[in-house]
Structure 1
Amino acid sequence: MKQARARLTHTVILDAAGEVFAAHGFAATNLQWVAARTGLTKGALYGHFPSKAALAAAVIESFEASWREMTADARHSARPALQTLTWLALELTRRMAEDIRFMAGLRLTMEAARAACTEVPHLAELHGLMTSLVLLSQKQGDIPVGHRPELLGRLLTALVLGTHESGLGIGRDDAAGALRSMWDTVLPALQRIPD
């Protein structure tokens, strides 16, 4: 019973931390805000996580597990490549909208990479995965070979991340629907042979 309660408290803390890190980033996050969202004292919070860095690391660990699952599903999908590409874009948008730890972990890893003046590894991986799916879609005849896979991979990555980051006047709940509408507009253009 005590272990179950501790696991539940751990989950509540990670979700609250996800909300605060997603909204404010690492540097601006105050652990008192996390404690207030959980109903714990700051001292009790430190009983679970000894520092803000340890709490951020746990949020990132949760994000990493979800990221690996999503990208592995895309890499090993039995669907045609164009369907997998669409699934990946929509799934990433869904996770950013619905999974606060995913969103917070992505923000924290992006902040860390930018602070170190290095490429964001997850964005590079996403671009590479989308590019390979475009290339495979071309081999399967769903996207004309006249399109440059690298450029389309970059465009589609920007479309997914830009939809979320810009908001474009939509709420988090509407992000997947907005991306779906934009995706349905872009796909027919991809399937035509460029001039």
Structure 2
Amino acid sequence: MPQQHRAHATRHAILTAAAEEFDRAGYAATPLSAILRRSGVTKGAFYFHFPSKEALAAALVHAQEAVWPELYQRWVDRGLDPLRTLVGIIDDLVRAVATDTVVRAGLRLSSESRVVDNELPSPYPLWERVLFEMFDQAAGAGLLREGVSPAVAARVLNAALVGARIISCSLNRCTDVVQRTREVWPLVLPGIAAEDWLADWTGEWRHGVSPVQVQ
């Protein structure tokens, strides 16, 4: 057990150090020596856990991917309407981006997949599909404006959210990504949501009720 614990601690140290370095400089500009120096791990110990820098980057991408199903299910289980569920999911997502270096680095590496490994999945189609499913459910519940296409709404919102994240992460390591994302909702939702739903949501929003507080 102590040996297993040490191995787990070493792997965690490598992943944490790699996330910090990749988040700071990107994949191409991060030498393996910087990861080893930050983690305090020898090259031999590194190669015991990862065959290459590419494999380490892939592990970080998969680590951030593992966060989203639990986050998604947690909001679905609340039983809110699809639009409030969507806002809540996105709110938690960007909070994770702002506070979790592994999540932030994994997303950055996903967008650099051509440099890292062409087989790494892009996060953009996945989230557009999630948005489409939520908007499609909202349409079925009569929560969308007449004539709004769930597919178009998903594409537009995805572009706005990705843009907010990329700009925030480029300018200040994502420290204001929550604020930038919240600024999207009052501008985008009026073109998507039905009037009755929008009036209720706007009242909650103006009175400072966050998606997390809406039960």
Which range, TM-score by smaller chain?
Answer: 0.7 to 0.9
How many angstroms apart in 1 are the aligned matches of 2:115 and 2:12? 28
Question: How far apart in 2 are the matches of 1:140 and 1:27?
Answer: 46
Report matched runs for 1:78-157 at 5 Å.
Answer: 78-112=79-113, 121-157=122-158
Q: 1:122 to 1:70 in 2, by over 3 A?
A: farther
Letter in 1 for 2:154: G
Residues 60 and 87 of structure 1: CA distance in aligned 2, closer, same or farther (over 3 Å): same
- Tell me how far apart the structure 1 counterparts of residues 51 and 26 of structure 2 sit (CA, whole Å): 19
Q: Does 1:68 align with 2:69?
A: yes
1:59 equivalenced with 2:49 (yes/no):
no
Deviation at 1:16, TM superposition (A): 1.0
Q: State the shift of 1:30 in Å.
A: 0.8
Q: Which residue of 2 aligns with 1:38?
A: 39
TM-score between both structures, scaled by the size of structure 2: 0.74
- What amino acid sits opposite 2:59 in the alignment? A
In structure 2, give the amino acid aligned to 1:134: F
Deviation at 1:5, TM superposition (A): 3.0
CA-to-aligned-CA distance 1:173-195 (integer Å, 9 cap, x gap): 321133123223332343367xx
- Are residues 117 and 60 of structure 1, via their aligned partners in 2, closer, same or farther at CA, if it must alter by over 3 Å? closer
Structure-2 change in CA distance of 1:24 and 1:152 (3 Å): same
Partner residue in 2 for 1:176: 178
Pick the aligned partner of 2:190 from 183, 188, 192: 188
Name the CA distance, whole Å, in 2 between partners of 1:121 and 1:42: 30
Maintained 8 Å contact 1:113/1:120: no
| Pairs aligned (count) | 193
Deviations along 1:115-172, one digit per CA (max 9) or x if unpaired, are 8889954311211110121122222232213222111101111122111101285652
User: Cα gap change, 1:55/1:86 in structure 2, threshold over 3 Å: closer, same or farther?
Assistant: same
RMSD between superposed Cα atoms in Å: 2.9
- 1:69-123 deviation digits (Å, cap 9, x = unpaired): 3344466662210011101221221222222222222232332268888995431
Which runs of 5 or more residues in structure 1 are unaligned? none
TM-score of the pair, normalised by structure 1: 0.81
Within 2, Cα distance between the matches of 1:54 and 1:162?
28
Counterpart residue identity of residue 90, structure 1 = D
Query: Is 1:28 aligned to 2:40, yes or no?
Result: no
Q: Is the 8 A contact 1:93 1:160 kept in 2?
A: no
Aligned AA (1:34): I
1:14 corresponds to: 15
- The alignment partner of 1:28 has SS state of coil
Contact 1:114 1:120 in 2 (8 A): no
SS of 1:82's equivalent in the other structure is helix
Alignment partner of 2:127: what SS? helix
Q: Is the 8 A contact 2:113 2:122 kept in 1?
A: no
Bigger helix share: 1
Unaligned runs of 5+ in 2: 196-215
C-alpha distance 114-40 of structure 1, shift in aligned 2 (>3 A): closer
